[in-house]
């Protein structure tokens, strides 16, 4: 079976802790997700998401605190505005908008985390591998920087 590669950008206060709880409570979720921990979902720039698709991800999921519960007051408000815009732009670039998902996961919502990852993995699996022109197949060594 085709196994998609999914990168998750999780805020450290809510969603990463929620994912941690999913682990310690031994909930099952697909191993297709690879997690990058960030201080806040507001740290996720659109460029980073695009770059993640270019560098080999078939799906990207951003998780943060529920609106109103952000550790940094309003960092996630930015995320809530950015992601829908980026989803629309992805369509123009020939990437299915469903490959990018935003989800609010609090530190206690281990079930919600696991369920979301299961759902998203199936969504991306049904979309198939992401075909992009000029996409790098393997991560190049020492390549860094946004531009």
Kindly tell me which residue out of 10, 42, 87, 116 binds another protein, with binding defined by CB under 8 A. Answer: 42
Check residue 20 for interaction with another protein (CB under 8 A): no
- Whether the Cβ atoms of residue 48 and residue 76 lie closer than 8 Å to each other: no
Kindly tell me which residue out of 19, 38, 86, 102 binds another protein, with binding defined by CB under 8 A. Answer: 38
What angle separates helix 15-24 from helix 110-127, to the nearest 10 degrees? 100
Q: How far apart are CA 88 and CA 38, in angstroms?
A: 24
| Positive or negative: CA dihedral 38, 39, 45, 47 | negative
**Interface mask toward another protein for 109-138; x: CB under 8 A:** -----------------------------x
Q: Could you identify the residue written with the tokens 């560098």? A: 55
Kindly tell me which residue out of 69, 98, 111, 119 binds another protein, with binding defined by CB under 8 A. Answer: 69
Would you say 83 or 114 has its CB closer to another protein? Answer: 83
Would you say 25 or 45 has its CB closer to another protein? Answer: 45
Residue 128: CB atoms within 10 A of its CB come to 11
In whole angstroms, what separates CA 72 from the centre of its chain? Answer: 20
Binding site for another protein (CB under 8 A): 3-5, 7, 31-32, 34, 36, 38-40, 42-48, 51-52, 55-57, 66, 68-75, 78, 82, 138-140, 143-147
């Amino acid at each position: 079976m085709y196994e998609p590669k999914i990168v998750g950008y999780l805020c450290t206060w809510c969603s990463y802790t929620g994912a941690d709880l999913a682990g310690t409570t031994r909930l099952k979720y697909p191993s297709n997700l690879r997690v990058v921990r960030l201080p806040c979902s507001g740290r996720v720039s659109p460029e980073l998401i695009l770059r993640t698709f270019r560098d080999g991800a078939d799906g990207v999921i951003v998780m943060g605190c529920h609106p109103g519960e952000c550790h940094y007051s309003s960092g996630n408000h930015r995320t809530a505005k950015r992601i829908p815009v980026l989803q629309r732009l992805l369509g123009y670039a020939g990437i299915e908008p469903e490959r990018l998902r935003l989800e609010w996961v609090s530190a206690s919502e281990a079930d919600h985390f696991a369920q979301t990852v299961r759902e998203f993995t199936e969504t991306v699996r049904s979309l198939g591998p992401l075909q992009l022109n000029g996409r790098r197949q393997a991560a190049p060594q020492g390549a860094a920087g946004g531009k």
